[in-house]
Structures are given as C-alpha cells and as structure tokens.
Structure 1
Amino acid sequence: MSEQIEDRNVARAGRLDTATLSDAMDRLGIVGQCRAIKPRDAGFRMAGRAFTILYGPAASPPGTVGDFIDDVPPGHVIVLDNGGRTDATVWGDIMTEIAHRRGIAGTVIDGINRDVHLCLSLGYPVFSRDNWMRTGKDRVQVEATNVPVNIGDVRVAPSDILRGDADGLVSIPRGHEERILAAAEEIEAAENAIRKAVAGGMRLDEARAQYRYHQLQTRAEGAKP
C-alpha cells in the first residue's frame, strides 16, 4: 500500500465516528472495538497509525519505562500495552509535552496515565482505562517495540489505524481498512439520508425502511463472527 493511500485512509477514518466504524466492523465480522478504553476528555478526537509498545513486569534490576518517543513518526498514535494494569502509569506530563510538540496524533494505553491536566490544557488526545498518579518506574518495563499488542481485548499491529472520539476507540486492521472504511462511509451516507428525509417531512419508520436502516449493521453473508 502506497504512503499516499495510507495517508488518505487515515483522513477517511478521521472523518468517521467510532460508532459508525463499529457498525461497519460488525457488518464485516471484524473485531476492532477496544473495550473500556476511553478519552480523558470527551472532546478528544484522534486518528493515526499505530506505533506500538509492549510492557511487562519490571526485572531486577528494572528496565526502562520507555525512551521511544523520538522514534515515533509525526501523525502516528503511540499505543501502550500495559496489560490493563491500573496500579502503575506508563504515561505522564513529560511524554505529553514532547508528543504534542512533535505532532504525534495521540496516545492509547491499555492501562492508566497521570498528569491529566497537561493533556487537557494542550488538547493532546490520551485514551486509557483511567488515570492515577502512581509511577510505573521500577514496576513495569518496555519488553518490545512495534510488535502486535492487546488494547481493550483487541489485537493492534504496527501501522493499524486507531480512531478515537467521545465514544471510545476502534482499531482498524491494515489488511481490512479499505473494506471497513467503505462500509462505514456507506452506513454514514444512509444515516445522513434518513436525517434529511425526516427533516423534509417523512416519517422516521418510512425513512428507515427506504434506506434499509435496520440492515446497515447486519453481518454480511460469509463474514466471520
């Protein structure tokens, strides 16, 4: 896939809500809805390709919690798999400040972050399970960079598209992104047509029937569960 097409697909994903993308994935039988991963602010919106980091329990002596940020390309999303831990953070204000300055699209954590005030004041999108102040230093360490990881029970591979908004986070697998984006755009067009028809005086049930609303998310024949 060419870089130009990749950039276009990130932009396409950024114009679609996570709810619409979720419906498209249901239709295609693809799991991509990252359970319990939420924005630290409902106004955060994010789209970009994944740069993944896998964490594990700290060794003795402990390894680092991560000096990877200078290797993340601008426009990418930093994706941190801390195994869903809520007792130790892997992201704070220094990382937020640098990521924001470098034009990184956002940060996703299967775990928690701290220093929420700075991501809010800078408008830097952080999606995580929760926030708490206790450091991950000497508790966790980086095990691997740019490997497949688990975020909210979803497999996220390097360069998959991450899309986040007020409703949560979805991961769009690179190998299926054209199908997912096309299906989501079709669903969005149908829903917009329903809104327009109702605004023009049509009954909602008639508009939904005309534009096949109740079939928009139905699993396509042959799609895997």
Structure 2
Amino acid sequence: MEKIVEQFHTIDTSTISDALDKNGLTGQCLGIKSFNPGWKIAGRAFTVKYGPVDIVKGTVGDFIDDVPEGGVVVLDNQGRLDCTVWGDILTSVAKRRGIAGTVIDGVCRDTNRSLELDYPIFSSGRYMRTGKDRVQVDGVNCHVNIATVRVRPGDIVVGDADGVVVIPREFEEKVLATALEIEAAEEKIRSATEQGMRLDEARKQFKYHSLQTRA
C-alpha cells in the first residue's frame, strides 16, 4: 500500500472530515455508508460514470479487470435507488484481485456475498433490481459525483463506520498533516481528562473549539 494511503487508513473519517473543514474543502459524502461497521477502506479512486440507457443499449460495465490492486471503485449512478450497478460477480472478482472496496452513489445488491467474502461496499442502500437495460457506462476514469462531492481518478477515498470522505490529490499532504495535528490534540484532551482535568479546561488548553475551524 502506498505510504500516504496507508497513513490515511489509520485515521478515522471524522478526523479527516475536520481536517477537510480546516482546509476549506468539501469531501464528506452525505448518505453513503456501509452495512458492516467493521469495514475500513483507503485507496485511490477508479471512477465509473453511469447514465440512463440509450436507444442502442450499452454495457453496465466490464471495467473491473482494469482496476489496480488496492484501488477503490467509485461508481456514480446519479444516486438512483431503483436499480443497482454492483452485484455478486463484481464482488467476487474485486475480492480476488485485491481491490480495497467499492463506493456507490446508488444501490448495490447480493449483500450476503459481500459479507461472506468480507468485501467492503459503501452505498446509498441496497436493492435487488438489476441495472441491465436501465443504465449504461458513460465514462471510465473521468470526473464523477458521489452525493455532492466531486471525485476524480486518483483522489484518495477513505471509508469507515461513519461514512466516506474524499481527499483531492492536490491537497492530500496538507489534509494528512492537519488530520494528524487534530488527532494529536484530541488524544491530549483524552489523556488530560483521564488524569482528572476538567473537560472544559482541557478543551481550552488544547484549542479543541478551533481544531476544525478554517484557518
């Protein structure tokens, strides 16, 4: 795993969210969550954009063999809840190829297979209806949207029990540094309160109320 991706993997999305706020960035994917709170992913985005099926029907997608090991598949199905773009065959191939996980602005299906293989999926929900003859791939490795967040190929995607965040490639070093500072400050607050300090005093001393405030 790439070093910076590995570092982000050790940090909670809540801390990364605060670091994004501190740097004036929006990367929190509203409504995207996993159905296993134990899942944690971090990797670079491999993006796929879907649209309504054309008069001449296109494919739902045979992109999976092009996703690099450790990558995160990011599927923009425009938030559709009436048909899925991910199921058990894709889960099986992705798991075998060492892909970190999948993020969907839309729904997935074959949930039991994902749980059986312990393959992380973060989505708007679950629904059994296929996307075949309903949607098709409009683009691969292009800009996509997940909820209200723009995701580009190569951006870092992190997901855990609290949801999914996206870190733009140009700001990844800065966001990481900020996240580590926030993490250190919060650990000092926890340590101080465990030693008997009042919470309000600890928060004041370690500047809790400004940790995520934009500089």
1:98 counterpart letter in structure 2: V
* Equivalent residue number for residue 157 of structure 2: 162
- Mapping of 1:67-106 within 5 angstroms? 67-106=62-101
Give SS of 2:81's match. coil
What's the offset of the Cα at 1:41? 1.4
5+ residue gaps, structure 1, are: 1-5, 221-225
TM-score, normalised by the number of residues in structure 1: 0.94
* 3-state DSSP of counterpart to 1:66: coil
Q: What's the counterpart of residue 109 of structure 1?
A: 104
- Read off the aligned partner of 2:5 and give its amino acid letter: V
Name segments (4+ residues, structure 1) moved above 6 Å: none
1:145 equivalent among 124, 140, 145: 140
1:61 is displaced (CA, Å) by 2.4
Q: Residue 208 of structure 1 corresponds to which residue in structure 2?
A: 203
Residues in 2 aligned to 1:26 and 1:185: alpha-carbon distance in whole angstroms:
14
1:189 aligns to what SS in structure 2? helix
Aligned-residue CA RMSD in angstroms?
A: 0.9
- 1:68-113 CA distance string (max 9 Å, x none): 0000000000000000000010000000011011100000000000
| Equivalent-residue separation in structure 2 for 1:118 and 1:192 (angstroms) | 38
Q: Following TM superposition, by how much is the alpha carbon of 1:133 offset from its aligned partner in structure 2, in angstroms?
A: 0.1
In the TM superposition, residue 51 of structure 1 has moved relative to its aligned partner by: 0.3
Residue 25 of structure 2: aligned partner: 30
C-alpha separation in 2, matches of 1:118 and 1:190: 40
SS, match of residue 150 in structure 1: strand
SS in 1 for 2:47: strand
Q: 2: distance between equivalents of 1:152 and 1:125? A: 19
Partner of 2:179: 184
- TM value normalised by structure 2: 0.98
Distance of 2:114 and 2:166 partners within structure 1: 22
In the other structure, the counterpart of 2:170 is 175
Residue 120 (structure 1) shift: 1.1
Cα shift readout 1:166-219 (whole Å, capped 9, x = no counterpart): 000000000010111110110000001111111111111111111111110111
- Aligned residue pairs total 215
**Paired AA for residue 11 in structure 2:** L
CA shift for structure 1 position 60: 2.1
Distance 2:80 2:102 in 1: 16
Task: Kindly indicate which of the two structures has a greater share of residues assigned to strand.
Answer: 2
SS at structure 1 position matched to 2:46? strand
SS in 2 for 1:196: helix
Q: 2 CA distance for matches of 1:183 and 1:23? A: 9
CA distance in 1, matches of 2:54, 2:134: 8
Counterpart of 1:146, as a letter, is N
